[in-house]
Amino acid sequence: MLARRSVPGLLAFALLLASCSGGEPADEAAKEAPQGPREVQTLVARTELLTEPVKAFGTIAAKQSSAIGALVEGPVERIFVKVGDRVSRGQPLFRIRQVDYQRNVAEAQAAVDLATAQAIEAERRYDRVIALAPKGFVSKAQVDAVETQLAVARAQKAQAVAALGTARQALGDTITRAPYNGVVTARLVDEGVYLNNRFAGGSQSAALELQELGTVAAIVNAPQEYVAMLRKDMPARVYIEGFDEPFESVVYIINDRVDPESRMVELRLPIANSNYRISSGLAARAEIRIPPDQALILPRTAILGDSAAAHLFIVRDGKARRRDIRFDSIDLDRVRIRSGLTAGEEVILDPPATLRDGEPVKPRRTTGTQ
């Protein structure tokens, strides 16, 4: 009786086990079931008329910058200017001790006086001998001798005069003057320090630093892609660190050498600075106005990576396809595509980090740049 009752119970128990064990594979199958294509937002790439200026970044530099040394050597006797002073061309800057050079002038003057007296005496002897020669009272050898003595005396006088000129020049060179209008930007020595002349070099040959700031230059770097568009005298605005308003300028120099690492080209833009408000070393941004140009412009959100290694995804045949590109920034929201994409291709906006090349996608197209 007990055996008969257990058969239906065993069957029920077996069915229960079967139903429980069969549920887990069903869940796994549901998980492994193929998902539909990933939905992505897209935009058809189109060219637009770009009127944005070329932006270039750099620093302000003086038109000229010089380490000012002396033409003669000696201890610095006096410095006439201080850092920050504006100076005019020809204005005295500092003086080397003059006493030795004054003594040289005095000695050279004495040598000139002696040589002059000797030359006068040689001329008198010459005149006497030449006067007697026609009467036969002197020999030819005597005539030759006084001629030689006179020539030597005159040469010695000329040599002494030249030495006096050199000594006077050296005395004058003890005062160093400004070679151009500018600003004293550094004092390199104190009074009493021995200064070598600028041509001999040595451990100390400069006393001051001078910069010509009546006109300064914005030295900036622009991407090489713009070289073909840039021209000399193109108008530009230069924004300088610490100034609210931009300065008007033009492109003055375009360096035709492209930096092999940065792929940038150096430009120079002069800026009038008559009141000396602008100092060298300040950061600068130039915006150069170029003619409007057709450009392929995309939202920055379509780009993955940076300017050194950037890519995006397009949709082709229902799949995401990766494209390596090169681009320039226009502003915080837009970029200009330089290579890797053509107009009419469908670009994925905000591509997910998990998106892979060749993955099926379902595009949801938008219109216009975002």
Q: Identity (one letter) of the amino acid at 226?
A: Y
Q: Is the pLDDT of residue 118 over 90?
A: yes
Q: Is the pLDDT of residue 25 over 70?
A: no
Q: Any residues with CB less than 8 A from the CB of 348 and at least 6 apart, and which? A: 40, 41, 42, 302, 312, 313, 314, 315, 320, 355, 361, 363
The mean pLDDT value for 161-180 works out to 96
User: How confident is residue 318, by pLDDT bands cut at 50, 70 and 90?
Assistant: very high
Structure tokens at 100: 């030795």
DSSP state of 173: T
pLDDT score at 274: 87
Task: Delimit the CATH 2.40.30.170 region(s) of the chain.
Answer: 55-63+215-293
Q: Is the pLDDT of residue 60 over 60?
A: yes
Q: Give 286-324 as a DSSP string.
A: EEE----EEEEEEEGGG-EEETTEEEEEEEETTEEEEEE
What CA–CA distance (Å, rounded) separates 197 from 219? 32
Angle ∠(52,345,358) on CA atoms, nearest 5: 125
Return the C-alpha torsion angle 152, 153, 158, 161, nearest 10.
140
Scanning the chain, the segments in alpha helix (DSSP H) are 2-32, 99-132, 140-172
Span 55-63+215-293: which CATH code? 2.40.30.170
Cα–Cα distances in angstroms (integers) from residue 312 to residues 301, 316, 323, 328, in the given order: 10, 13, 5, 14
Of 65-74, 87-96, 326-335, 361-370, least confident by mean pLDDT is 361-370
Cβ atoms 319, 279 nearer than 8 A: no
Task: Delimit the CATH 2.40.420.20 region(s) of the chain.
Answer: 39-50+294-366
Q: Any residues with CB less than 8 A from the CB of 136 and at least 6 apart, and which? A: none
Task: Delimit the CATH 1.10.287 region(s) of the chain.
Answer: 98-173
What CA–CA distance (Å, rounded) separates 43 from 54? 26
User: How confident is residue 13, by pLDDT bands cut at 50, 70 and 90?
Assistant: very low
Of 213-222, 231-240, 269-278, 326-335, least confident by mean pLDDT is 326-335
Share of the chain above pLDDT 70, in %: 88
Q: Which CATH number is 39-50+294-366's, of 2.40.420.20, 3.10.180.10, 1.10.3720.10, 2.60.120.260?
A: 2.40.420.20
Identify the CATH class of 98-173: mainly alpha
Q: Is the pLDDT of residue 202 over 80?
A: no
What CA–CA distance (Å, rounded) separates 369 from 47? 11
